[in-house]
Structure 1
Amino acid sequence: MKGEQKFCATSLESFIDSSISELGKQIQLLSNELSKETKNPLFTITRGMQNMGDNELVLVCHKKKYPGAVFSCHSINRTTLYKVPLVGKDGTKANALAVCHKDTSAWNPKHMAFQILKIKPGTDPVCHFLFRDTLVWISNK
């Protein structure tokens, strides 16, 4: 997408250095949190959702299937990050990360989100939860 920056982090050093290069030195790393392992995938959203800031830039890093820690990272402009408290059917507590993309005008009009939501690029925000092994860097400024 226009304005999107991408990099592949193949070491801890490149993961940190590239993130600092994108966002500056005052950054925070966030991830989904699970109080204990559970075999029950059914969760309910509970009270206490936190807006982690309307960030002009959020750096999202997706874990890749390699023997070592390899992340594919990309910057996303005009994105709001939320920490959403969940409780499982078995009582397991979690904090899940969700993002809302406020500017989808540069997205492919055939993107699945537009088909599911029945909207057009640039009209409404598109929000979704992040996968469990996704990490997010945000600025602390």
Structure 2
Amino acid sequence: MHFTKSSNRATFLPRQVAASIPFSSNKLPEILTKFSVTPQSEEADMIKETLNECDSPSVKGEEKYCATSLESMIDFSTSKLGKDVQALSTEVETETGVQTYTVTRVEKKTSGEKSVVCHKQKYAYAEFYCHATQTTETYLVSMEGADGVKAKAVAVCHTDTAAWNPRHLAFQVLKVKPGTVPVCHFLPEDHIVWIPNKKSA
């Protein structure tokens, strides 16, 4: 395992400010000008890639949303899960290299399969690619590294991968085909999973 601190330090803009800035591939020149980004630069390519991903259609069985403010992320999550939700993210005591972790506790956090997972994207300010799905299970895994460093890692298991692209990296690594087995992975520290509170689930 290798948990590293994110180098993506971009922060959210206030909702009103974010809403006033175009966020679409067909507005790319205007966006680059707004943030004084050189069109042929690496940063411009990063912005273009994020916009293209947000503009692309959803995978069958999920709803996606690109949140450009904290308020919009919360609104999307609560619209899919109800008002009583909790946010989980991976927490590691300190930055560590590749090492062996011992699992000390596994806690299943979802009684159903509903969740909203938000992945931080590379952009001029904080932007999260969120997707709601009915086919995931969420776990909080307590771990201890060989050097004593403790981590609480969020793991998400996708129970139905039938609609995924057959060339998805997960299938290559696991040497399986879409729809045959659940696919589980840990979330990096700057990603968030929203789930219904168990009391209200």
Superposed pair shares fold, TM > 0.5: yes
- Unaligned regions of 5+ residues in structure 1, if any? none
Paired residues for 1:17-96 under 5 Å: 17-34=75-92, 36-96=93-153
Bigger RCO of structures 1 and 2 (CA < 8 A, at least 6 apart): 1
Unaligned runs of 5+ in 2: 1-58
CA distance in 2, matches of 1:133, 1:28: 16
Residue-by-residue CA offset, 1:64-106 (whole Å, 9 max, x unaligned): 2235332111113211111111112321111001111111111
Say which one has the larger Rg.
2
Q: Which has the higher helix share?
A: 2
Aligned Cα root-mean-square deviation (Å): 1.7
Deviations 1:84-131 (A, max 9, x none): 111123211110011111111111222222222222211111111111
**Using the alignment, how far apart are the partners of 1:72 and 1:33 within structure 2?**
20
Q: Give 1:53 shift.
A: 1.8
Q: Which sits farther off after the overlay, 110-119 or 126-135?
A: 110-119
TM-score normalized by the length of structure 2: 0.64
1:45-65 deviation digits (Å, cap 9, x = unpaired): 322111112432211111122
TM-score calculated relative to the size of structure 1: 0.89
How far apart, CA to CA, are the structure 2 residues paired with 1:30 and 1:91? 23
Aligned to 2:27: none
Instruction: Determine the structure 2 residue equivalent to 1:124.
Output: 181
